Amino acid sequence: MTPEEFRSAGHELIDWLADLRTSVPDRPVLAQVDPGQVAGEFSAEPPQGTQSFGQLMAELDSVVVPGLTQTLHPMHFGWFPSNAALSSVLGDIACSGISALGISWESNPSLTEVEQVTCDWMRQLIGLSDQWEGSIQDTASTACLVSMLVARERASGLAQNTGGTQAITQPLVVYTTAQAHSSVAKAALLAGFGWDNVRKVETDPATYAMIPAALEQAIERDLAAGNKPAAIVAAVGTTGTTAIDPVAAIVAIAQRHDCFVHVDAAMAGSVMLLPEYRHLWDGIEGVDAISWNPHKWMGTILDCSLLYFRDIALVEEIMATNPSYLRSNADGAVPQLRDRGIPLGRRFRALKLLFHLRLDGIESIKNRLRRDLENAQWLLQRVEASEHWEVCAPVPLQTICVRHRPDGLSGPELDEHTLAWVGRINQSGAAYLTPSILDGEWMVRVSIGVEATEREHVEALWELMQSACNTR
Amino acid sequence: MTPEEFRSAGHELIDWLADLRTSVPDRPVLAQVDPGQVAGEFSAEPPQGTQSFGQLMAELDSVVVPGLTQTLHPMHFGWFPSNAALSSVLGDIACSGISALGISWESNPSLTEVEQVTCDWMRQLIGLSDQWEGSIQDTASTACLVSMLVARERASGLAQNTGGTQAITQPLVVYTTAQAHSSVAKAALLAGFGWDNVRKVETDPATYAMIPAALEQAIERDLAAGNKPAAIVAAVGTTGTTAIDPVAAIVAIAQRHDCFVHVDAAMAGSVMLLPEYRHLWDGIEGVDAISWNPHKWMGTILDCSLLYFRDIALVEEIMATNPSYLRSNADGAVPQLRDRGIPLGRRFRALKLLFHLRLDGIESIKNRLRRDLENAQWLLQRVEASEHWEVCAPVPLQTICVRHRPDGLSGPELDEHTLAWVGRINQSGAAYLTPSILDGEWMVRVSIGVEATEREHVEALWELMQSACNTR
């Protein structure tokens, strides 16, 4: 394809995408397709000839679009918001069009240096000191794995340089809670700690946050058993209920036992853009690693997960590769971002942050977050004031966990009722909510924060919820 | 930003990108900037206000563009080709604009199913049987890490479910060669094998390919020492010289010792689109995992690394997470791609493969690869026929490794000469070649395969090389 053919098709594509985004509110939130339906529309054998751009877009319209779940829909209240501000989409399009290759500073100086600059801007915007140095990872899952690998090597005195993790004789232990994201346990297992060495520290039954005294006891039990506490993963905003583990208390314990602390603020990092919320992670300067995802609530398009370390030199020592074919005269004078994570090659992801900040401006982003926090409080009050409705957990951010409990219903019957009413809403395509298990019972998470979601949509959702439970 | 503002700015951006791509041949190949120069053009503090789209594009023009190394330049012969066919760029732009979230099948059925379809098409296009099941990873580095984690768990009987890698008592060993990509050792270290348990099997001094008898001896030495051979990483196309490890012989040894085999065909996977080259990986059906990067020579824009496994159920068992908030009625009937790698969230990367295949067609891609292979043979003949020039390694693909050795020059003096002449070419911006160390001496890799590189560019390069060495 020539640049002129690209220009022509690109204009068509931009119009198609603008139209698609405009149509989002008119589409079902949950894709109304059966398993295998989309795949079944394609030939089993690879295509041999070519299609025109028009034919390809017709295929997208008829086959692909019906299978898109609309996570940008104003009635999407599922999982966590996964916004994609159109300003940042333009930055991602620029990344594609520029088609840079990041494997060393020399392979694309702008890619490396704009990533440095934007990561540092983001650091300042959430109020972190200049002791932190970051990079863009694909997701918080990968970020957590990188942290666990660093924690493992730190605790083992760089075992990778000799016998590796398999030569460790004093078992290294990781501490987290049952409320932590599934990626935390996955990261610990992939890093080789083993399930027997992952402690689910008790959480407060009211707040679902880690209990510092329970952490201390768990560590002491391990020390008594001859194990070595290596890492604590604290969640600032758990996935289930946005519970906030007490960072300062955890740091105090970690320091006594020389433990690495990773803070998973994938969701709640965005709220730290608002100074009035930073007390939620008091003590943060004492941890070792922080991850947060602008690609969630803040709305820089996926994939944009920031990972900050206090001791970046240690990370680079563990992750470094320096083959002869990647050396240049600039070595030593420039960072090599490949040494801050797993992949060698990287895209020019910093452009989506640059575009987002430059075009939307941080003030409009902050105003939107405050709008969502207010909408959550509005819904919280309605639920609290309504008979048979329960709020299952504190609401420090923008996610409300609810159960509708008709008189006397509990146990499996309540679960059946919960899954039935949320299923009715979700399958209808009118809105989407995430059912989740808390304290062994199903509840429903209402996660507010899609860019397009205004108060009217939250009001409409509350009507829908009551209708689905026949309480109106 | 509204969809209409996006439409307007998007059209401007498409024109800007088309112009930029058109201008590539007129720009220096290597960015002519000093370390810190690009970053220094940005304010140290995060921006507070907003910029217009025009202001932002002016910033890109004045600050970012000068710092772009032009890896799509027809005179770029560095590293490996990192093509970005404009058809696939359109697919990547569609991915951005659609802004899908892949965390489960339900979160976007089309994202999951188009990835299944395109991975299967690609499997067929390189002649693999239907026993293989794949997914898209960001890079071959990550793909290799995933393989090493799977190999570790397979050899340890799923140690992650108990004491983890750190509870392994019989050391697990990984076999590769000194010619393997730097990401292989990195993956083995991150997976916890430890440097002491990574064997660099001897390579043939003429071909730089792994010597099967040396592999067998290394395994036997480990068995005698009480170690357990766990994984062999074979390269089909090493980074240094595109050496081809003998897959069939390696598989035969692996089967005798129940060893997992990962084939790193990041570069050379593309040549398997040409049936006449598939003999290069005879025996491939007997390995356990294969990675190859359409984002290299084939030209589907980064990031698009395919990873195929024979036993996908084992991979999913090791990588699976199934938190309550990601469950749906479709579970069991659909694949969950999160269980085939590290990250939970994924972009709609399959669109760039779909667009590439649909718009360019596989035949034009194959013709381009054949053109590059012929150009490599043309240059090979010139170098072989020229006094004081040496070809350092066989040329099975499109990369030629050369030294210019004036009479009597060797050792440090030859290294100085080599780095001087390649440095003159690279710093001039006229072309780019990658210096690399082979057998302890610097040589220069000429890697042909940029989409825009025609015979005339290879001829111009050969003139440049001779001028830089003063041999013309």
Q: Which of A10, A42, A301 sits opposite B90 (nearest CB)?
A: A10
Q: Is B390 a domain residue?
A: yes
String of b and e for B363-381 (b: at least 16 CB within 10 Å)?
eebbebbebbbebbeebbe
The Cα angle at residue B379 between residues B373 and B383, in degrees rounded to 5: 140
Tell me the average pLDDT across B39-64.
97
Residues 6+ apart with CB under 8 A from B57: B12, B13, B16
Q: Is B197 a domain residue?
A: yes
pLDDT of residue A333 exceeding 90: no
Residue B367: name the closest of B278, B266, B457, B273 by CA. B273
pLDDT of residue B471 exceeding 90: no
DSSP character for A399? E
Task: Name the one residue in this structure whose structure tokens are 């040496």.
Answer: B390
- Give the minimum alpha-carbon distance from A451 to chain B in angstroms, rounded to a whole number: 10
User: What is the Cα–Cα distance from B244 to B120, expressed in whole angstroms?
Assistant: 25
Q: Which two tokens stand for residue A265?
A: 């603020």
Tell me the average pLDDT across A74-103.
98
Catalytic residues of A: 325
Of residues A83 and B326, the one with the higher pLDDT is A83
The strand pair at A305-309 and A289-292 is best described as antiparallel
Collect all residues of chain B within an 8 Å Cβ-Cβ radius of residue A441.
Answer: none
Distances (CA, A) of B285 to A165, B132, B237, B341: 31, 9, 17, 22
User: What is the Cα–Cα distance from B434 to B430, expressed in whole angstroms?
Assistant: 14
Residues 6+ apart with CB under 8 A from A303: A137, A138, A139, A295, A349, B343, B345, B346, B347
By residue count, chain B amounts to: 472
Contact B39 A2 (CB under 8 A): no
Q: In CATH, what number is assigned to the domain containing residue B162?
A: 3.40.640.10
B93: left (phi over 0), alpha (psi -120 to 50) or beta: alpha
Q: Which two tokens stand for residue A68?
A: 């898109």
| pTM of the predicted protein model | 0.97
Surface-to-core class of residue A272, CB atoms within 10 Å of its CB (0-12 exposed, 13-18 middle, 19+ buried): buried
Q: Is A269 a domain residue?
A: no
Task: Name the one residue in this structure whose structure tokens are 């210019």.
Answer: B404
| Phi, then psi, of B314 in degrees rounded to 5 | -65, -45
The confidence score (pLDDT) of residue B472 equals 59
Residues B414 and B370 reside in one and the same domain: yes
- Give the minimum alpha-carbon distance from A5 to chain B in angstroms, rounded to a whole number: 9
B325 — pLDDT class (breaks 50, 70, 90): confident
By C-alpha distance, the chain A residue nearest B138 is: A343
Contact B1 A84 (CB under 8 A): no
Sheet with A289-292: strands ordered across: A133-137, A305-309, A289-292, A260-264, A228-235, A172-177, A198-201
Tell me the average pLDDT across A325-344.
90
The strand pair at A441-447 and A432-438 is best described as antiparallel
- ipTM, interface predicted TM-score of the complex: 0.97
Residues 6+ apart with CB under 8 A from B412: none
Q: Is B39 a domain residue?
A: yes
Residues B220 and B316 reside in one and the same domain: yes
pLDDT of residue A275 exceeding 90: yes
B470 — pLDDT class (breaks 50, 70, 90): confident
Residue A291's DSSP bridge partners are A264, A307
User: What is the Cα–Cα distance from A197 to B161, expressed in whole angstroms?
Assistant: 10
Express each pLDDT in B143-159 by its tens digit: 999 999 999 999 999 99
Express each pLDDT in A183-200 by its tens digit: 999 999 999 999 999 999
The residue among A68, A84, A104 that closes a domain is A68
B101 touches chain A (CB under 8 A): yes
A412 touches chain B (CB under 8 A): no
Collect all residues of chain B within an 8 Å Cβ-Cβ radius of residue A393.
Answer: none
User: What is the Cα–Cα distance from B104 to B109, expressed in whole angstroms?
Assistant: 8
The residue among A38, A68, A98 that closes a domain is A68
Q: Which of A1, A60, A101 sits opposite B82 (nearest CB)?
A: A101
A42 touches chain B (CB under 8 A): yes
Q: Is A298 a domain residue?
A: no
Express each pLDDT in A34-44 by its tens digit: 999 999 999 99
User: What is the Cα–Cα distance from B412 to B433, expressed in whole angstroms?
Assistant: 20
Percentage of residues in chain A having pLDDT higher than 90: 96
A314 touches chain B (CB under 8 A): no
Surface-to-core class of residue A313, CB atoms within 10 Å of its CB (0-12 exposed, 13-18 middle, 19+ buried): exposed
Residues B325 and B194 reside in one and the same domain: yes
Task: Name the one residue in this structure whose structure tokens are 């030593």.
Answer: A332
A312 touches chain B (CB under 8 A): no
User: What is the Cα–Cα distance from B247 to B253, expressed in whole angstroms?
Assistant: 10
Residues B424 and B449 reside in one and the same domain: yes
Q: In CATH, what number is assigned to the domain containing residue A367?
A: 3.90.1150.170
The confidence score (pLDDT) of residue A413 equals 95
The confidence score (pLDDT) of residue A472 equals 59
Task: Name the one residue in this structure whose structure tokens are 């393997």.
Answer: B180
Residues B348 and B370 reside in one and the same domain: no
Residues B395 and B308 reside in one and the same domain: no
A254 — pLDDT class (breaks 50, 70, 90): very high
pLDDT of residue A349 exceeding 70: yes
Q: How many domains does chain B have?
A: 3
Residue A352's DSSP bridge partners are none
- Around Cβ A336, how many Cβ atoms within 10 Å? 23
Distances (CA, A) of A215 to A156, A242, A250, A291: 21, 19, 8, 21
Tell me the average pLDDT across A393-411.
95
Residue A390: name the closest of A439, A457, A455, A427 by CA. A439
Residues B118 and B251 reside in one and the same domain: yes
Cβ proximity of B274 and B285 under 8 Å = no
Cβ proximity of B396 and B244 under 8 Å = yes
Q: Is A410 a domain residue?
A: yes
DSSP 3-state of A429: coil
The confidence score (pLDDT) of residue A323 equals 82
Q: Is B77 a domain residue?
A: no
Q: In CATH, what number is assigned to the domain containing residue A10?
A: 1.20.1340.10
Residues B189 and B108 reside in one and the same domain: yes
The confidence score (pLDDT) of residue B407 equals 86
Residues B108 and B29 reside in one and the same domain: no
Collect all residues of chain B within an 8 Å Cβ-Cβ radius of residue A7.
Answer: 14-15, 18
The residue among B360, B377, B395 that closes a domain is B360
A332: left (phi over 0), alpha (psi -120 to 50) or beta: left
Collect all residues of chain A within an 8 Å Cβ-Cβ radius of residue B93.
Answer: 10, 13, 17, 93, 96-97
The Cα angle at residue B238 between residues B236 and B239, in degrees rounded to 5: 140
Q: Crossing angle of helices A362-384/A455-468, nearest 10°?
A: 30
Surface-to-core class of residue B195, CB atoms within 10 Å of its CB (0-12 exposed, 13-18 middle, 19+ buried): middle
Cβ proximity of B421 and B469 under 8 Å = yes
The strand pair at B228-235 and B260-264 is best described as parallel
Cβ proximity of B159 and B167 under 8 Å = yes
DSSP 3-state of A441: strand
The strand pair at B289-292 and B260-264 is best described as parallel
Residues B121 and B51 reside in one and the same domain: no
Per the prediction, chain B carries an average pLDDT of 97
Residues B134 and B228 reside in one and the same domain: yes
Residues B101 and B208 reside in one and the same domain: yes
Tell me the average pLDDT across A144-173.
97
Q: Is B314 a domain residue?
A: yes
Residue A106: name the closest of A332, A414, A300, A301 by CA. A332
Cβ proximity of B180 and B233 under 8 Å = yes
User: What is the Cα–Cα distance from B360 to B103, expressed in whole angstroms?
Assistant: 30
pLDDT of residue A221 exceeding 70: yes
DSSP 3-state of A270: helix
DSSP 3-state of A47: coil
pLDDT of residue B183 exceeding 80: yes
Contact B90 A325 (CB under 8 A): no
The range of the structural domain enclosing residue B456 comes to: 362-468
